[in-house]
Structure 1
Amino acid sequence: MATIKKREGKTGTSYLIRSSCGYDTSGRQVMRSMTWKPKPGMTEKQIEKELNRQAVLFDEKCSAQGVGNGNIKFQAFAEQWFKEYAEPNLRPRTVARLHQLEERTYQAIGHIRLDKLTARHIQRFIDNLGEDGISTKRDLAKPKADLSAILKGRTQKDLAETSGVSRSTISSMCRGEGVTLTTAEKISTTLGKATKELFTIQKGSGKLAPKSIQHYLSFVSSVLDYAFRFEIISSNPCKRVVIPAGEAPERDCYTVEEAQTFLESLDHAPIKYRAFFVLAIYGGFRRGELLGLEWQDIDFQSHVVKVQRTSQYLAGRGTFTDDTKTEKSHRALKLPAPVFNVLRQLRAEQAQDRLRLGDQWHNSGRLFVGDMGDPIHPNTPYHWLRRFCEETGQRFLGIHTFRHLNASLLINSGVDVKTVSASLGHSQVTTTLNIYAHTFEEAQARASEAVADLLSKKQA
């Protein structure tokens, strides 16, 4: 509520009106003031009435405009949000992904003041993200020659560190595999060459996926929610923005027959990868959860596997241990005996490696480690799986597909949605229902047909 102070000066009587504009991001209250002078000839009653009216109007103006009259551009405030909220509170990989959204967002609305930023501005930005040609992510850059011959004595590790590209990506390029255009440009700049000199560019569809567009809107909304909390703006305009409807891509998944064939083909695979993918199929674990498993999480007597951490990677930081994706991702799953037979073989082989290397062994305690005992890079199983599928003539659908396969098998076996959700480590049952709605519908339809068949036989 505004405060009023009467002042007498050489030019007559005036009134100082002060009002709070809320609190800044450091928690300090910000005050604004104005001076009002009564017109000549006004009575005391008229002055009192008009003074109170001016105080109310100024109070409302300050409340609506917020701290500093909202005179801060979106980009400047978003950069504050990263330092004050995102980096201290969000997971490192989440912050890294949000930083990837900055460039397009700032180009579109970064120059607009918070108090001038409207739902229309944001809607125009979101609509533009769904247009053709907005994305070059699907543009593929294929190396024209063996990249290792162009490194001129530089190691892959050195090139990765100087270019900001992961070592696994550098390794893929050296094998002649394609990469994104952005990655190709980073490599070319580091090597002092033109991108077209080193790579052949194959144009993609150029559209952002609906999920990617949702990520942009969520980023903008999170920043504006922070501004609203500190009364810098009176409302979050993102609440009125609509994501354009898009066709959700159909999720491709292995059939039961393909899964059985894949498991059989693993009999001739290294024990490390056999154990990794057996756990992926039977447990439905996320990649980071699998790589974060330690031997202390494996109960060989009760056949239980506990998920308590994840293993992640960030350029410039390397491989590191992080918490699980959600609180409910901390879980314990009872798995069949064949899984633990494979894990026993892995433990025995790892024990032999540890004895052979002695002091050179880096005892990380992880199940899935490199030759010296260090946790492996998160992309290592992905690249191994792709090569393995090519060699054995099987479909390559990525690692996360095994999680979908596990969920599909659970649902089609008649397991209820709450149990499926708990097994997958989803934060809410609605998440499971949204992701696997079609699978549940098919399972329910088959159950209804089974009931109908049973009743028909009894009537016959």
Structure 2
Amino acid sequence: MSGKRGNGEGSIYLYRNGHAAYVWVTKPDGKRARKYVYGKTREEVHDKWIKLHAEAKKGPVATSVPTLAAYLARWVKEVVEPDLKPKTAETYAMHVRLYLTPGLGDKRLDKLTVRDVRTWVNRLLDECQCCAQRKDARRDKPRCCAVGRCCRQVASRRTVQDARAVLRSALTNAMTEELITKNVAGLVKVRSGRKVQRKPWSVEEARRFLEAAQTAHDPLYAAYVLILVLGFRRGEVLGLTWGNVDLEGGGRRNHRSTPAPAYPAPVGP
């Protein structure tokens, strides 16, 4: 049996501190080109060389693969914006800008692993986004992360799930374009987020807040009183109309009466 390689099989050779090999492949645009693999030992390169041969026989093979950031930018422009409704496209682009590109953008598309995605998901659930996105540093008067008082503004589990869904959609398109063979985002689940331990205001802190709001003639002062003193939920306060308020009787009524003045008299704590 002849030991000569067939046409297009490429070769293995010494390269720097190891070995390299190439195989002639057909690119997605139909043109022929060399694709290279590298490794420290001849055996390592030989294994990669065999796999590359198998890929070349199955169909087109990309000879250059972009970073995830570069691919996502093209995907949003060429796929998301033309195909989806404007609001949906805007949401996709927001997740790419705030979460995907900063967290995974420097990874090469075909080198992205399940472990990379899982690490990114877990970090999103735990990391303060005010710090990560430098929100406080852009404020005229920094008040939390930029001055060393982290506000722990972590992303909700729903937000992380949505960001991962956007990544999964992008990688599905990359598979369609034959840039990758596996969607690693589909293999990662989002764990339950950690509950943030909240520290409620003391009576003295609530009193000082109400006094400051009253002194400043804050138009929402009455709403603050309803929430802090009577325990109203936000939805209950926002759903309250003038027709349901009896300023003279100090309670609620179910029938509409004479409209109240634009600014109600302050209500003491």
> How has the CA–CA distance of structure 1 residues 82 and 209 changed in structure 2, closer, same or farther, with 3 Å as cutoff?
same
1:396 is aligned to: 234
**Any idea what the Cα deviations from partners look like across 1:307-330, whole Å, max 9, x if unmatched?**
xxxxxxxxxxxxxxxxxxxxxxxx
Letter aligned with residue 107 of structure 1: P
1:94, distance to aligned residue in structure 2 (A): 2.1
1:221 is aligned to: 168
**Any idea what the Cα deviations from partners look like across 1:118-159, whole Å, max 9, x if unmatched?**
11111110111111x42229xxxxxxxxxxxxxxxxxxxxxx
Q: Is the aligned partner of 1:99 residue 2:99? A: no
Does the 8 Å contact 1:70/1:115 carry over to 2?
Answer: no
- Of residues 19, 26, 38, the one that matches 1:20 is 26
> How has the CA–CA distance of structure 1 residues 232 and 390 changed in structure 2, closer, same or farther, with 3 Å as cutoff?
same
Q: Is the aligned partner of 1:114 residue 2:109? A: yes
1:237, distance to aligned residue in structure 2 (A): 0.9
**Percent pairwise identity:** 17
Matches within 5 A, 1:170-209: 182=135, 188=139, 194-196=140-142, 204-209=151-156
Task: Give me the whole-angstrom Cα distance separating, in 2, the residues matched to 1:118 and 1:400.
Answer: 46
Give the number of aligned pairs: 176
1:106, distance to aligned residue in structure 2 (A): 1.9
Q: What TM-score, normalized by structure 1, do the two folds share?
A: 0.32
Task: Give me the whole-angstrom Cα distance separating, in 2, the residues matched to 1:29 and 1:216.
Answer: 34
Report the more deviating stretch, 75-84 or 57-66: 57-66
> How has the CA–CA distance of structure 1 residues 60 and 390 changed in structure 2, closer, same or farther, with 3 Å as cutoff?
same
SS of corresponding position for 2:167? helix
Does the 8 Å contact 2:69/2:105 carry over to 1?
Answer: yes
Task: Give me the whole-angstrom Cα distance separating, in 2, the residues matched to 1:233 and 1:208.
Answer: 29
Which segments of 5 or more consecutive residues in structure 1 lack a partner in the other structure?
Answer: 6-16, 35-54, 138-180, 189-193, 250-385, 402-460
**Any idea what the Cα deviations from partners look like across 1:69-101, whole Å, max 9, x if unmatched?**
452110001101011101111222222222322
SS of corresponding position for 2:155? coil
SS of corresponding position for 2:189? coil
SS of corresponding position for 1:112? coil
Task: Give me the whole-angstrom Cα distance separating, in 2, the residues matched to 1:86 and 1:129.
Answer: 23
> How has the CA–CA distance of structure 1 residues 115 and 391 changed in structure 2, closer, same or farther, with 3 Å as cutoff?
closer
1:74 is aligned to: 68
Task: Give me the whole-angstrom Cα distance separating, in 1, the residues matched to 2:237 and 2:113.
Answer: 41
Matches within 5 A, 1:55-66: 58-62=52-56
> How has the CA–CA distance of structure 1 residues 392 and 58 changed in structure 2, closer, same or farther, with 3 Å as cutoff?
closer
Q: What TM-score, normalized by structure 2, do the two folds share?
A: 0.51
SS of corresponding position for 1:208? coil
Aligned-CA RMSD value: 4.4
**Any idea what the Cα deviations from partners look like across 1:22-52, whole Å, max 9, x if unmatched?**
x3xxxx3353347xxxxxxxxxxxxxxxxxx
Does the 8 Å contact 2:128/2:154 carry over to 1?
Answer: yes
